[in-house]
A = this chain, B = another copy of it.
């Protein structure tokens, strides 16, 4: 879990990024980062050099944009860095790979305090230490933009294993899940319900009060701690398919079902003891747990829980045998233009 992700207060001497310039800003960020065990050459040249022990590397990239993806009134810079790392690490791990390194490009307003960048760097470093020990930040870029934007590209090593794809689920496999189900969505719903002012704008004051009352749900949304190491565990245990659950269990399960040419049948009793819990488990996005399938005769490893079975079908997602709608999240559908 995040290590005291308290809001960074601007210091009296905290110059803006624009005033100190790119070079000085980089000098304040780089000492806060670690390049990790796989970095053969870290930051400082035209490009970095990273070890890829089995002659291949896994790569994923993701953008976090102020407005649709986060609100500065709700997230601390530390939490932004943490979440940017965490969400990319799970994409690498969902292939069955061990995360090795990140590169990070940040576009920030020249008027922002340099402590914003320091907070993001601290969050990146601590998330890597906590979720993927040994992995580090091997390179990056700093640009100017009116909209704070964090672009992370993450790398992983399959260590000779075959990648675990979303297309490998087979009829008769058990469906298993590792990580939170619905907590990130509950945290976001709380923020929208109780941390916006009368005009609907995100409020830092209300968010701080809410954080005191619901620390775990807000942390699940703002600085999640998905079980990254479970990705390799699943691969070693023979997972036939796996993906990172970012858009909600129902919507991501449909991707596995469609890619694999099967149906995924969830057990409501495994997902929760009441209908609302089951609904949020299926619909809630941004938990970044792992949805995997295992052969019927495989031992499903910790921390995975069995939540259903793969059955014959053509891309359907079922709950106790009945078709459920795919609910999820589209960055263009979900953004009302507010930045917060």
| Known A23-B330, A46-B91, A52-B55; further 18 A-B contacts with Cβ < 8 A | A41-B165, A45-B167, A47-B97, A47-B156, A48-B58, A48-B60, A49-B56, A49-B58, A51-B56, A59-B103, A59-B139, A60-B103, A63-B141, A63-B145, A63-B149, A65-B107, A68-B145, A153-B153
- Cα-based distance from A140 to B333 in the complex (angstroms): 19
If A23-B330, A47-B156, A146-B147 touch, does A60 touch B165 (CB 8 Å cutoff)? no
One of A14-22, A71-79, A212-220, A267-275 contacting the partner: A14-22
- Cα-based distance from A54 to B165 in the complex (angstroms): 25
Indicate whether A210 reaches chain B with its CB closer than 8 angstroms.
Answer: no
In the complex, the count of this chain's copies comes to: 2
**Pairwise interchain contact B52-A56, C-beta atoms closer than 8 A:** yes
A-B CB contact pairs (8 Å), 16 listed: A21-B332, A41-B163, A46-B92, A47-B91, A47-B97, A48-B60, A49-B163, A57-B57, A57-B155, A60-B139, A61-B151, A62-B141, A63-B141, A68-B144, A142-B331, A145-B147
Q: What residues of chain A have their CB less than 8 Å away from a CB belonging to chain B? A: 17-18, 21-23, 25, 40-41, 44-65, 67-69, 90-92, 94-95, 97, 101, 103-107, 110, 138-147, 149, 151, 153-156, 158, 163, 165-167, 243-244, 259, 330-333, 335
**Pairwise interchain contact A22-B332, C-beta atoms closer than 8 A:** yes
Closest to A153 in B: B153
